[in-house]
Amino acid sequence: MERVQKGGFLLLGFLLGSVGPLWDSLFNGLLVALTFLAFWGSRSAREGWKAGKVYIGANVAFLLYFALHTTVVVGGGRMEGNPTYSLFEALLLGFVLIPVYVSALREWMTPRLLRAFLAVFCAGNVCLQCYVCYDMIGFWFLTDLKSALKVLIFTRFGDNREVLGSVYLIEMRAMGMAVAALFAYFLAFRAGRWWKRMVFGGMFLLSLAFLVFTVTKSALLGFAMGFALLNVYLFRLSHWRTRVGMVVLVAVLVAGSAVSVKRVEKFGQRVEEVKQDLRNMREGNYDGRTIGPRIAIFKAIFDHVDEFALWGEGVYSKERIHKWFAEAEDEITVYFSSQNAFLQYWIQGGLFGLALVVYLFVAPVARNWRRSGFPWLVVSVTAVFFVVSNTCVTLSKMNGRPLILFFLALFYFYGGMFVRLSEEREEKKQEIKRFPAD
């Protein structure tokens, strides 16, 4: 049973980085099966659930609240339009099932297994992005690398495109690349053998290159914040030779970024779009391609804040948002959501929904900070999730929801092991021992 659980956990890690966000039935089916096996006759799994009763209970409580809210508004006929019940699937299979499964891993989880999970996650993400790259340009880059790179950058690495039969939103893809790049960078510094450091270093460079090709501001900003925090931490842990290498690498990346903005047309174009949006907003015009439309969306939604602030719109939230956008002065009817995960769950679940999402982001950091000091690695990755979630409805889409909820649950239940990954190199004998979960 232990081998099955460990293998399933690693398979979930690979799927999470690769096709899991695209093939939701496969990912959810495997998650349900592994959760059932974990709890079948396992006392420690039930103990894990008890240890995380507050974290899990918050998600269960919101699911029950949403069910009660739906019963009241649908049964009482208080709202007009067509209700959307898909959020129940998201709450049950994402918000409830993922932390329940993660809490059940106490019996088998070790720092070594956690490191392997991060490694296969990074490998899965790199494999998926390599497939997308091949699907776009084939082996053209072997004969004309400059033209191939232009295609990748000017098409934003394919933007929102169909990948393996499912539409993959560019913000979600970029978020996955940013997280994979951070973990690969971390593993490259903490791996024991030189060839492993080379492999993880290669994964980092590939993930970073693919991320740059997307020209997605939120994911790049989130990565920059996480990368800065992670480098401060690793700098403190490393000896002087490694520190010199880190300084050189960071200097090269910063210089490369500055040159790219000035010399690569697409990067310059994106910067100019932001400047133009800011100029337009000063004149009261919210048309644009980056910041402007999102500000117009937030403005239209907060004009109706009294309608959802306390209880939320529940299963009618999609209909209500469409109505608000249609009534807005600005032309935003082409959008279908709030473009912000926190705001989206506030609209759907009222104060309870907003409080839940904030809690899920804050709880892992606060818990680890209280027990082990400032959790650098946890905060670095959470920064990516937080930044992207403020410009995209990450928790409402299968492309991004499992990734965020899975890692937040891992951070909450096994934050101490993430600290040990930072403090101990792979080859040390202590690594193979089991350590109690938080």
What secondary structure, in 3-state letters, does 157-213 show? HHCCEEECCEEECHHHHHHHHHHHHHHHHHHHHHCCCHHHHHHHHHHHHHHHHHHHH
Residue 121 in any domain: the answer is: yes
The pLDDT of residue 61 is 96
CA distance 304 to 1: 53
Counted domains in the chain: 1
For 342-359, what is the mean pLDDT? 95
The pLDDT of residue 308 is 92
Residue 294 in any domain: the answer is: no
Q: 27-31, 81-85, 86-90, 381-385 — which is least confidently predicted?
A: 81-85
Task: Please give the share of the chain, as a percent, with pLDDT higher than 70.
Answer: 93
Q: Is the pTM of this model over 0.85?
A: yes
CB-count exposure of residue 266 (10 Å: 0-12, 13-18, 19+): middle
The string of pLDDT tens digits covering residues 386-431 is: 999 999 999 998 899 999 999 999 999 998 888 888 666 654 444 4
Closest CA to 407 of 154, 175, 190: 175
* Residue 274: how many other CB atoms lie within 10 Å: 15
Confidence category of residue 11, pLDDT binned at 50, 70, 90? very high
Residue 262 in any domain: the answer is: yes
The pLDDT of residue 428 is 46
Residue 27 in any domain: the answer is: yes
* Contact by Cβ (8 Å): 185, 230: yes
For 136-165, what is the mean pLDDT? 82
Residue 196 in any domain: the answer is: yes
Higher model confidence: residue 205 or residue 83?
A: 205
Residue 282 in any domain: the answer is: no
Amino acid at 376: W
Strand, coil or helix: what is 340? coil
Residue partners of 295: CB distance under 8 A and separation at least 6: 281, 286
Closest CA to 99 of 407, 314, 424, 320: 407
Q: 1-15, 133-147, 383-397 — which is least confidently predicted?
A: 133-147
The string of pLDDT tens digits covering residues 269-326 is: 778 878 887 887 777 777 777 788 888 899 989 999 999 999 999 999 988 998 898 8
Residue 140 in any domain: the answer is: yes
The pLDDT of residue 253 is 85
The pLDDT of residue 142 is 67
The pLDDT of residue 184 is 96
Confidence category of residue 12, pLDDT binned at 50, 70, 90? very high
The pLDDT of residue 154 is 84
pLDDT of 344 strictly over 70 = yes
CA distance 386 to 230: 16
Highest averaged pLDDT of the listed ranges 67-81, 138-152, 168-182, 223-237: 168-182
Residue 260 in any domain: the answer is: yes
Structure tokens at 309: 């602030």
The string of pLDDT tens digits covering residues 69-103 is: 999 988 876 677 788 888 899 999 999 999 999 99
Terminus-to-terminus CA distance in the chain, angstroms? 23
Q: What is the DSSP string of 6-57?
A: HHHHHHHHHHHHTTTTT-HHHHHHHHHHHHHHHHTT-HHHHHHHHHTHHHHH
CA distance 109 to 419: 14
Q: 363: domain range? A: 2-273+338-432
The string of pLDDT tens digits covering residues 331-341 is: 777 777 888 99
Closest CA to 289 of 308, 274, 309: 274
Task: Please give the share of the chain, as a percent, with pLDDT higher than 90.
Answer: 48
* Residue 336: how many other CB atoms lie within 10 Å: 11
